[in-house]
Structure 1
Amino acid sequence: MTTVTTALTDSRTMVRRNLVHAKRYPGMTVSMIVMPVVLLLVFNYVFGGALKSSTGGSYIDYLTPGMMLIIPAYMVAGIAVSVASDMTKGIIDRFRTMHFSQPSVLTGHVVGTWIQGLLGVSAMTLVALAVGFRPHADAVGWIAALGLIALTLFALNWLGVGFGLIASTPESASNMPMPILLLPFLGSGLVPTDTMPAGVKQFAEYQPFTPITETLRGLLMGGAIGHNGILAVGWCVALGAFGYLWSTSVFRRRIK
């Protein structure tokens, strides 16, 4: 069996392990999915009336694309805790005694959490449709939107792996990604950046979630995307590459 084949086989095994673990202990996964859905309902029904005028149309139509990206942000904390648990509870030492591709442990976490995140975004979309979300996207638009969400999830998951590897305990791992969890709220996900004070507006316009949100909103609602599409993909590739290189480097040092 070649090295590539071994790596793929072991990665598939680790993905299955991650999904089985999520099924047996669903608390973390459920909270990472349910909380964004609750926030969608809270912002729509509690603040929607006051914020509707700033968006120039149906607030749920404006809100939903931004809230979809909260799930990838929340999953960063989940994968960080999962990786930190593996690193501190001895399972990695057991794996080291076996003949397997060591990076497959990280791949299993990333792909397994990626699948859970996509299911969470699907659930949020169904809830949004039930409360009035009316997208104008055709089949191509939906495919492109799903691709962007999948790419965002994949990139942020690698960052989450890095946080989990440098954390001393699972508890500290849950707190490290807090800045990433806040970014969707400090962009154009809830209100247009034009309504923000000067300093906050400048930060919002230059952080990664704003072009990703605007691209997703344009794809789903049939609006203009402009240069946001290039920025969105560029941010995802940059964050994913950094997270991958960071995670694999730290992991190699930890298992020596």
Structure 2
Amino acid sequence: MTTFVRATAALTGRSLTHVRRSPDTIITTALTPVAMMLLFVYVFGSAIQTPSPGRYVDYLLPGILLMTVASSIAYTAYRLFMDVDGGIFERFRSLPIARSALLWSHVLTSVVATSVALALVVLVAVVMGFRSGAGPLAWLAVAGILLLFTLALTWLALVPGLLATSADAVSGFAFPLIFLPFVSSAFVPTDGMPTPVRWFAEHQPVTPIVEAMRSLYAEQPAGSDLTLAVTWCLGLLLVAYLLAMRTYRRRFG
């Protein structure tokens, strides 16, 4: 365990150094969600009726935060692909270190980089008028949900990072995840959607996660939405972790 922790810390420091030297990746990660937030608040916001009173940016922010996470993990997959394609991954594997430390270093780097991008998005939302009277426990609950969601998508991102044969292929896998919030309650209530679309929107993970975060920000009981959100995140995390580890073992033995 000591060897694993030391190796993970050293490799994570290496990955964070790359991120620190290329801060444009974090800015780019936050750019698309911020642009979407500006577009929907200032162009479409006045035409969208939400079930709860308040500013549209308050309703919109949880979905934008999930988009930020999905944007960030594309860079995680890309960084892992570059390590594998450049041969550095094989060099690390030849060292007397825990092999899982190679993957965990990318996961922890993703968590740190994504947290910075999320903070930038929240800061822009506050400038746009977002306000919440939620207490520390509610904010910690939101942070916990975002952490679980980030971990789940990050482990999922390791699979294309290990399997991709080109940088273009690995960069494109995250696009469906980025646009998944559009078919949920993130931007508009699901009531007005066609029946098949509404069914999908109400039974995919983004909707309960968004609704739980929205309730926590509004100082309302999250109830079953919070339970569903945590269940979805933990389930996705477990599946993504097992899939990533299996892919790693099948490729590298």
TM-score w.r.t. length of structure 1 = 0.94
Task: Give the aligned residue type for 2:245.
Answer: T
Could you say which residue in structure 1 is the equivalent of 2:155? 158
* SS of the residue 1:184 aligns to: helix
Could you say which residue in structure 2 is the equivalent of 1:87? 84
Structure 2 residue corresponding to 1:46, chosen from 32, 43, 46: 43
| CA–CA separation in structure 2 for the residues paired with 1:68 and 1:113 | 15
Contact 2:26–2:116, Cα closer than 8 Å, also in 1: no
Q: CA RMSD in A?
A: 1.4
| CA–CA separation in structure 1 for the residues paired with 2:10 and 2:84 | 18
Structure 1 runs of 4+ off > 3 angstroms? Answer: none
Contact 1:161–1:247, Cα closer than 8 Å, also in 2: yes
| CA–CA separation in structure 2 for the residues paired with 1:184 and 1:247 | 24
TM-score w.r.t. length of structure 2 = 0.95
Could you say which residue in structure 2 is the equivalent of 1:71? 68
Task: Give the aligned residue type for 1:15.
Answer: T
Could you say which residue in structure 1 is the equivalent of 2:100? 103
Could you say which residue in structure 1 is the equivalent of 2:6? 9
| CA–CA separation in structure 2 for the residues paired with 1:111 and 1:40 | 27
| Deviation for aligned residue 1:56 | 4.2
Could you say which residue in structure 2 is the equivalent of 1:186? 183
Does residue 25 of structure 2 align to residue 31 of structure 1? no
Identity %: 35
CA displacement 1:187-239 (0-9 Å, x = unmatched)? 11111111212111111101111111000111111233221111111111111
| CA–CA separation in structure 2 for the residues paired with 1:40 and 1:217 | 16
Task: Give the aligned residue type for 1:197.
Answer: P
| Deviation for aligned residue 1:19 | 0.9
* SS of the residue 1:207 aligns to: coil
Structure 2 residue corresponding to 1:118, chosen from 112, 115, 120: 115
Could you say which residue in structure 2 is the equivalent of 1:139? 136
| Deviation for aligned residue 1:76 | 2.3
- Structure 2: give runs of 5+ residues left out of the alignment: none
* SS of the residue 1:69 aligns to: helix
Aligned residue pair count? 252
| CA–CA separation in structure 2 for the residues paired with 1:164 and 1:104 | 16
| CA–CA separation in structure 1 for the residues paired with 2:35 and 2:234 | 30
| Deviation for aligned residue 1:118 | 1.1
Contact 1:214–1:228, Cα closer than 8 Å, also in 2: yes
Does residue 166 of structure 2 align to residue 169 of structure 1? yes
Could you say which residue in structure 2 is the equivalent of 1:214? 211
Contact 1:165–1:250, Cα closer than 8 Å, also in 2: yes
| CA–CA separation in structure 1 for the residues paired with 2:90 and 2:106 | 17
Could you say which residue in structure 2 is the equivalent of 1:226? 223
Contact 1:113–1:157, Cα closer than 8 Å, also in 2: yes
Contact 1:55–1:62, Cα closer than 8 Å, also in 2: no
* SS of the residue 1:227 aligns to: helix
Task: Give the aligned residue type for 1:215.
Answer: A
| Deviation for aligned residue 1:55 | 4.2
* SS of the residue 2:30 aligns to: helix
| Deviation for aligned residue 1:129 | 1.0
